[in-house]
Chain A
Amino acid sequence: MHIFLFLLFGLLCAGGAINLLIQRKPINSALSLIVVMGSLALIYLLLGAEFVAVVQVIIYAGAIMVLFIFVIMLLNAGEEEHTKGSKVAKIIGIPGLITGFIIGVSVLLQHGPQEKRIHIGELYGSASDVGMMLFTKYLLAFELTSVLVLIAIMGAVVLARRSHSS
């Protein structure tokens, strides 16, 4: 059951990621990303991270991606045009990426953690547990993050505002 669910959502996830790359229209890419995020939420559930899974849906799928789609709609982003652009990305970047990926995967397959087996339904990381940790051990980081978000809000407002002079 577990392997079935993992394969189902994992393949959905991978398919979504690949589709994101293949699609020419940003809106399709965005939808693929939503699929990736949704299936990731379910994979989190498989891993027992209940609260994170829900938050993944609410924040990523429900807020961030809506924002993306909103912007795509606002700017009426049509089909991607093909420009020559950078040779570096093709000549160096893609081989480098593939090399790095292959190295990483081979290392993971050889030395990755194999021993720990998890079982479906073993839920931990409930809201209260995560909350306790967040407000004790990581309190400073949490407060700093709140400052970051505040600055981001102000930044976004300033950036997106039309200047009155023009």
Chain B
Amino acid sequence: MTIPISWYLLLSAFLFACGVMGFLIKRNIITIFMSIELMLNGVNLSFIAFATRFGTLDGHIFVFFVMVVAAAEAAVGLAIIISVYRTRETLNVDRVNLLKL
């Protein structure tokens, strides 16, 4: 028994939507950041699914790049979060609305 690719794509869409939802409803800046990672993962899944669908490896390469970017983003983003926390003493994005440190 095999399953069609669109199932994977549905899962991917669901993960992405969950990520967006997390961005919309979560207050903790770290959780929001994690929602972004969730979105990236959803996109990665669609890449892999399409790579399998078309029998090429390009999708895999894209996933690599996404991962690298995600890693870079995590490094910088978490550094920003740390410095924000140092000055604002909060992780609630609703309280960090001055758009500066």
Q: Do chains A and B touch in the complex (CB under 8 A)?
A: yes
Provide the residues of chain B in CB contact with A67, threshold 8 Å: 74-75, 78
Which residues of B have CB within 8 Å of A29? 26, 28, 31, 34
Q: In the complex the two chains form, is B4's CB within 8 Å of A113's CB?
A: yes
Given A17-B18, A71-B81, are A159 and B13 neighbors across the interface (CB < 8 Å)? no
Chain B minimum-CB-distance residue to A119: B2
Q: How large is the interface on A (under 10, 10 to 19, 20 to 34, 35 or more residues)?
A: 35 or more
Interface of A is mostly: helix
Answer whether A20 and B64 are a contact pair too, CB < 8 Å, given A49-B48, A85-B27, A108-B13: no
- Please report the C-alpha to C-alpha distance between residue A72 and residue B81 in the assembled complex, in whole angstroms: 10
Contacts of A89 in B (CB 8 A): 24-25
B1 interfacial contact with A, CB 8 Å: yes
Contact status of A80 and B60, CB under 8 A, knowing A21-B18, A160-B82: no
B1's contact among A1, A47, A160, A162, by CB below 8 Å, is which? A1
- In Å, the complex CA distance between A122 and B18 comes to 30
Among A13, A75, A108, contact of B9 (Cβ-Cβ < 8 Å): A108
Main secondary structure of the interface of B (DSSP, over half): helix
The contact of B28 among A26, A145, A151, by CB within 8 Å, is A26
| A77 B24 Cβ-Cβ under 8 A | no
One of B11, B83, B94 near A83 (C-beta < 8 A): B94
Contacts of B52 in A (CB 8 A): 47-49, 116, 118
Interchain CB contact under 8 A, A118 and B5: yes
- Nearest chain-B residue to A18 (Cβ)? B18
Question: Out of A26, A43, A101, A134, which one reaches B45, CB within 8 Å?
Answer: A43
Residues of B31-54 at the interface with A, using a CB-CB cut-off of 8 Å, are 31, 33-35, 37-38, 41, 44-45, 48-49, 51-53
